C-alpha cells in the first residue's frame, strides 16, 4: 500500500488538502506531522487526520525532534496533541538532527520513547539509512522503523519506507513525500479506518488563528519546513529530510 506524509508545508496559502482526490489517486494512508520540539503543534493536524480518515485512508502521526530541547517535554507535547485520535499507523519519532555522536543520541531517543509509549504504546522511529546504521550499534533503535531511502531500492529492516520526495499528488497543493507499507502485518491494520468519536471536519475548513505556532521554531526537514507565525501556518519548504538518502 502506498501513502504520503504531510505537514503544514502542504497547505500553502491556507489551501486544504482534498483527501478524497488523494484516495482516488490510489493512496491508502497518510502520516501527519503533529508536533515539533516542546511547544509547536501543527495547526492542520486534526483537520488532516479527520479528513484523511473520512476519505478512507489509514492515518498515523509523527513528532519532529528538536535538538537541544528536553526529550520528555517534547514527548508530552506530542502525546497531548493526539488525545482522542484513532491512529491506525501509530505514532513516530522523526529523528534527523544534525551530526551527533550515536552514544549521545541513545539516551535522548530512549527518554522520548519511554515517555511517549506511556500514552501511545508501539511508538516507532523515522530516520535515514545513515542514522539507522549508527544507532544499530548503540541498541537505540525501536522495533518499528520508518526509513527514508529515496529511490527504487527498498531498505531492509523497516515497516514503512519513504521512497520518494517532491512528488506531485492529486489533491495536495504542494509537492509531498511518498511512502510504502513494507510489512502490513506488523501494523495490524483493520479492514477499514475506524471513525473518530467526533464527526470528521469538512475539507474546506481552515485552522483557527489560535492554533498558530507560538515560538517560531522551524518545522521539519523531511517533513521539515519552517512554520511562520501567520494564520494558519503555511510552511516555507526547507528540505524536508536530510540530504541523504
Instruction: Confirm whether 244 is domain-assigned.
Output: no
Q: Are 223 and 177 in contact (CB under 8 A)?
A: yes
User: What CATH number is associated with residue 146?
Assistant: 3.20.20.80
**pLDDT tens digits, one per residue of 124-171:** 999 999 989 888 877 778 889 999 999 999 998 899 999 999 999 999
Q: What percent of the chain has pLDDT over 70?
A: 77
Cα gap 91→88, rounded to integer Å: 9
Instruction: Confirm whether 201 is domain-assigned.
Output: yes
Average pLDDT taken over every residue of the chain: 82
Print the domain residue range for 144. 2-237
Instruction: Confirm whether 245 is domain-assigned.
Output: no
Instruction: Confirm whether 45 is domain-assigned.
Output: yes
CA proximity to 40, closest of 238, 235, 193: 235
Cα gap 137→171, rounded to integer Å: 41
N-term to C-term CA, the chain: 21
pLDDT at 230: 37
Instruction: Confirm whether 242 is domain-assigned.
Output: no
Helix-helix angle 102-119:71-81, to 10 degrees: 30
Instruction: Confirm whether 64 is domain-assigned.
Output: yes
**pLDDT tens digits, one per residue of 195-238:** 654 444 433 344 543 333 433 344 444 454 444 333 343 333 33
* Per-residue cell: 217: 521554531
Instruction: Confirm whether 32 is domain-assigned.
Output: yes
Instruction: Confirm whether 243 is domain-assigned.
Output: no
Q: Are 218 and 235 in contact (CB under 8 A)?
A: no
| Helix, strand counts (H, E) of the chain | 5, 11
> How many domains would you assign to the chain?
1
Q: Are 81 and 35 in contact (CB under 8 A)?
A: yes
Which residues, at least 6 apart from 154, have a Cβ–Cβ distance to it below 8 Å? 161, 163, 180, 182
Amino acid at each position: 500500500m502506498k501513502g504520503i506524509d504531510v505537514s503544514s508545508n502542504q497547505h500553502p496559502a491556507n489551501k486544504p488538502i482534498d483527501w478524497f482526490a488523494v484516495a482516488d489517486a490510489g493512496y491508502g494512508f497518510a502520516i501527519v506531522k503533529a508536533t515539533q520540539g516542546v511547544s509547536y503543534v501543527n495547526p492542520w493536524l486534526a483537520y488532516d487526520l479527520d479528513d484523511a480518515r473520512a476519505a478512507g485512508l489509514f492515518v498515523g502521526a509523527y513528532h519532529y525532534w528538536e535538538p537541544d530541547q528536553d526529550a520528555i517535554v517534547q514527548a508530552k507535547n506530542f502525546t497531548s496533541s493526539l488525545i482522542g485520535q484513532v491512529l491506525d499507523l501509530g505514532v513516530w519519532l522523526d529523528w534527523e538532527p544534525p551530526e551527533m555522536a550515536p552514544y549521545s543520541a541513545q539516551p535522548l531517543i530512549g527518554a522520548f520513547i519511554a515517555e511517549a509509549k506511556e500514552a501511545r504504546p508501539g511508538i516507532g522511529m523515522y530516520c535515514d539509512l545513515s542514522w539507522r546504521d549508527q544507532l544499530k550499534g548503540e541498541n537505540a533503535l525501536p522495533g518499528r522503523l520508518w526509513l527514508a531511502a529515496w529511490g527504487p531500492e527498498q531498505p531492509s529492516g523497516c515497516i514503512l519506507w519513504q521512497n520518494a520526495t517532491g512528488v506531485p499528488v492529486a489533491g495536495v497543493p504542494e509537492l509531498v513525500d511518498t511512502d510504502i507499507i513494507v510489512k502490513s502485518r506488523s501494523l495490524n491494520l483493520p479492514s477499514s479506518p475506524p471513525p473518530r468519536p467526533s464527526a470528521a471536519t469538512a475539507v474546506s475548513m481552515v485552522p483557527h488563528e489560535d492554533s498558530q505556532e507560538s515560538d517560531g521554531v522551524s518545522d521539519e526537514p523531511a517533513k521539515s519546513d519552517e512554520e511562520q507565525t501567520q494564520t494558519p501556518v503555511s510552511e516555507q519548504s526547507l528540505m524536508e529530510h536530510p540530504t541523504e538518502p
